[in-house]
């Protein structure tokens, strides 16, 4: 059987759309959740097949979408993110429309990472904005702050790419500003903590964690953007990384803590992209995968805690370890992985980022170390607040469910096996970084250039 001949890419993109249509016709929440979970499992299998066949040398394209060096490892990572998001959603919070939005988000994210045309990327990025806005409207939550930021993002993106396509330097500046806004770089980050507080956790996760601004920067900005623009953006990202880590340390609510941790981690990845060097891009491509999966695992444990105990405060010690030790372990290993703890999926990418920034100056490496330190302090503070201290007693069992055990097991395998295979990933990502830099002015997103 020739597996490389299978339509892996087509199935990867079509299954979420078909799943969304099916979920929209189902009235029972549990049935919609099971159906959607099945479609996401199929999407994960097809995305993995697409990535594997590309490593074997088979390049497949379909109507402007293709699996290339950048997309091959990200397809299964994105599919796994959406699978874990639905798996970690409490039954009481699942509805058919929640499943529809999640599956549509999977299509948008998978479509952006495989799109080869610049306007295809811009269109999908603009369409993706309406999914979290739809979620905010369905909950009756305040959406004005998010809407104002996105109403600025979409025109900047469209106008910037239109001008950049014609070789105008101002267009690259507008496009860069749009991507910095989408990534939550200070002072354009106000929408991100608000989104995590007002929207469903899952909707916020699948909008923020894929870091589509990184993909857009690789496809649309590099390598034609003037160096001084990228240098200015790298400074803004570096400052935001420290700012986000510091804000995460002092937060008193779990959602705000997580949101500012995402701001800091996103800034680190974007900083590595803006370095526009081989080592910097290699670190960005590796950190992109590790940060996304580590933060997804951290959110999995936080959402499971919220399903049991409601909104969580970090002002006091709750002592939940004895009731849910599995979630405590998941929280700790994923949190440490996000800051590059040895032996985890984030160790080699973080080490590569700091060592690769040495040529930029000692102050840059020192600032990166401070950002990582603040993130680590924030994670340990949150862990001690949630899982240590007094021992509450309840009349009902709060033990981890079988579904949650499956999620914890998958997360643990990803965190530690990812660390084990990091050297091979770094080697392949280094080759991808060199190809991105070698493209010169003839970029693949310009069909006729």
DSSP string across 125-185: HHHHTHHHHHHHHHHT---HHHHHHHHHHHHHHHHHHHHHHTT-HHHHHHHHHHHHHHTT-
Q: Which residues contact 119 (CB under 8 A, 6 or more apart)?
A: 161
For residue range 423-438, list pLDDT tens digits in order. Answer: 777 888 888 888 888 7
Specify whether 434 is located in the same domain as 412: yes
Write out pLDDT tens, residues 112-147.
999 999 999 999 999 999 999 999 998 888 888 899
pLDDT in tens, 357-379: 877 888 898 999 999 999 999 99
Q: Are residues 78 and 187 in the same domain?
A: no
Confirm whether 184 is domain-assigned: yes
Q: Is residue 449 part of a domain?
A: no
Q: Is residue 251 part of a domain?
A: yes
Which of 79, 96, 116 is at the close of a domain? 116
pLDDT in tens, 86-113: 999 888 889 999 999 999 999 999 999 9
Residues 123 and 103: their CA atoms lie apart, in Å, by: 18
Number of structural domains in the chain = 2
The parent domain of residue 21 ranges over 1-116
Shared domain for 157 and 54, answered yes or no, is no
Query: Do 121 and 111 share a structural domain?
Result: no
Find the angle CA(436)-CA(425)-CA(292) to the nearest 5 degrees: 85
- Mean pLDDT to the nearest integer, 52-74: 84
Residues 196, 266: one domain? yes
CA-based nearest residue to 271, from 345, 188, 376, 354: 354
Same domain, 298 and 365: yes
Q: Looking at 157-161, 298-302, 341-345, 397-401, which range is the least confident one?
A: 397-401
Q: Are residues 20 and 134 in the same domain?
A: no
Q: What pLDDT is stored for residue 79 in this prediction? A: 96
- Mean pLDDT for the chain? 89
Task: Judge if 112 and 126 occupy the same domain.
Answer: no
Spatial separation of the C-alpha atoms in residues 199 and 188, rounded to whole Å: 19
Nearest to 286 by CA among 348, 367, 219, 227: 348
Quickly state the pLDDT bin for 443 (edges 50, 70, 90).
Answer: very low
User: Scanning the structure block, which residue is given the tokens 């002002």?
Assistant: 315
Question: How much of the chain exceeds pLDDT 70, in percent?
Answer: 95
In a domain, 444, yes or no: no
> Of the candidates 69, 86, 116, which is a domain's last residue?
116
In angstroms, the first-to-last Cα distance of the chain is 38
SS3 65: strand
> How does residue 2 score in pLDDT terms, banded at 50, 70 and 90?
low
- Among the candidates 65, 81, 116, a domain finishes at 116
51 and 181 assigned to the same domain: no
66 and 129: one domain? no
233 and 369 inside one domain: yes
CA-CA distance, 178 to 298, in Å (whole number)? 28
Residues 6+ apart with CB under 8 A from 34: none
The reported pTM is 0.93
Helices 422-438 & 278-309 angle (0-180, nearest 10)? 130
Nearest to 281, CA basis, from 353, 183, 345, 212? 353
Residue 91's contacts (CB-CB under 8 Å, 6 or more residues apart) are 29, 30, 33
User: Does some domain include residue 448?
Assistant: no
């Amino acid at each position: 059987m020739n597996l490389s001949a299978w339509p892996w890419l087509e199935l990867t993109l079509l299954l979420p759309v078909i799943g969304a249509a099916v979920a929209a016709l189902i009235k029972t929440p549990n049935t919609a959740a099971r159906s959607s979970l099945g479609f996401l499992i199929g999407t994960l299998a097809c995305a993995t097949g697409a990535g594997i066949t590309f490593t074997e040398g088979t390049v497949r394209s379909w109507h402007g979408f293709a699996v290339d060096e950048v997309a091959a490892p990200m397809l299964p990572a994105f599919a796994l993110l959406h699978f874990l998001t639905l798996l970690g959603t409490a039954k009481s919070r699942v509805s058919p429309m929640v499943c529809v939005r999640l599956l549509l988000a999977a299509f948008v994210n998978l479509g952006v990472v495989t799109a080869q045309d610049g306007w295809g990327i811009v269109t999908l990025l603009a369409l993706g904005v309406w999914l979290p806005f739809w979620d905010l409207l369905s909950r009756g939550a305040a959406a004005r702050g998010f809407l104002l930021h996105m109403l600025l993002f979409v025109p900047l993106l469209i106008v910037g790419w239109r001008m950049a396509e014609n070789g105008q330097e101002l267009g690259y500046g507008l496009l860069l500003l749009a991507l910095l806004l989408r990534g939550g770089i200070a002072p354009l980050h106000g929408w991100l903590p608000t989104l995590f507080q007002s929207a469903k956790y899952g909707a916020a996760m699948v909008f923020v964690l894929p870091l589509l601004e990184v993909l857009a920067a690789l496809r649309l900005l590099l390598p034609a953007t003037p160096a001084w623009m990228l240098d200015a953006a790298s400074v803004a990202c570096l400052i935001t990384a420290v700012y986000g880590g510091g804000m995460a340390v002092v937060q008193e609510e779990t959602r705000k803590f997580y949101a500012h941790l995402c701001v800091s981690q996103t800034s680190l990845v974007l900083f590595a992209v803006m370095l526009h060097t081989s080592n910097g891009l290699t670190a960005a491509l590796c950190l992109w995968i590790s940060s996304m999966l580590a933060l997804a695992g951290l959110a999995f444990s936080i959402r499971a805690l919220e399903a049991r105990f409601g909104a969580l405060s970090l002002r006091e010690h709750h002592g939940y370890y004895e009731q849910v030790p599995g979630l405590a372990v998941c929280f700790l290993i994923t949190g440490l992985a996000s800051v590059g703890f040895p032996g985890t999926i984030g160790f080699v990418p973080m080490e590569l980022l700091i060592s690769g920034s040495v040529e930029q100056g000692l102050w840059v490496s020192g600032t990166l170390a401070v950002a990582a330190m603040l993130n680590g302090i924030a994670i340990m503070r949150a862990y001690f607040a949630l899982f240590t201290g007094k021992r509450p007693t309840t009349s009902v069992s709060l033990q981890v469910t079988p579904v949650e055990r499956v999620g914890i097991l998958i997360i643990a395998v990803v965190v530690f096996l990812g660390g084990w295979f990091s050297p091979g990933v770094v080697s392949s990502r280094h080759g991808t970084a060199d190809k991105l830099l070698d493209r010169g002015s003839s970029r693949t997103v310009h069909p006729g250039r």
